[in-house]
Amino acid sequence: LSRNIVGCALALLLTSIPLVQGIGAQVDQENWDLTPTFTFSVVQQEFTPAFDSLDSAQLVLSNMGAMGWPGGPMYLSIRGGGADGPIIATSQPTFVSTWYEGLVGFGFAEPVSLIPGQIYALAPFNTIAAAPFGVTPPRYSGGQFYGNFQVAEYDLIFREGIGLEIVPE
């Protein structure tokens, strides 16, 4: 009995630690400056993968200014051919609590096949309200950022790759 209690306590401890990357995680492309300088509610970030697939991505939710996330499920679509391309995959839902700020991870049920060197776009969305995603000055050269449906001089704070942690859940 005591071994089961210790095992359950260890499992609870390990699952409650908010990791940025899972064990064996591999980042393919990223723009990872965790200090947002501005937020946009409708975003798409083009990226040019080096890997031939992805199974997860991470974005930063930022409640800068008066905008605040009301809570609920979020999703991430991958568009082939850039921001105007067709949706080729949509993540599983990730539940994000009210007024949450920080890392949001998205996972796909199956790895999404990609062609290295071709352009794709990350397009987060939800069915509740606009969510304020953090951006930084442009540093990422693998694609353009679209904020509120226009090309903007920023880049989304993002990572995509294999085995990235899905937080919060």
CB 130 within 8 A of CB 42: yes
Cα distances (angstroms) measured from residue 136 to each of 29, 91, 139, 161? 16, 24, 8, 20
Which pLDDT tens digit goes with each residue over 76-125?
999 999 999 999 999 999 998 887 888 899 999 999 999 999 999 999 98
The whole-number average pLDDT for the span 38-55 is 91
pLDDT at 162 over 80: yes
CB 89 within 8 A of CB 77: yes
Q: Output the six-digit token pair for 165.
A: 């942690």
**For residues 51 and 53, what is the distance between their CA atoms, to the nearest angstrom?**
6
Which pLDDT tens digit goes with each residue over 2-23?
333 333 322 222 222 233 445 5
This prediction's pTM: 0.79
pLDDT band at 34; cut points 50, 70, 90? confident
The whole-number average pLDDT for the span 123-142 is 85
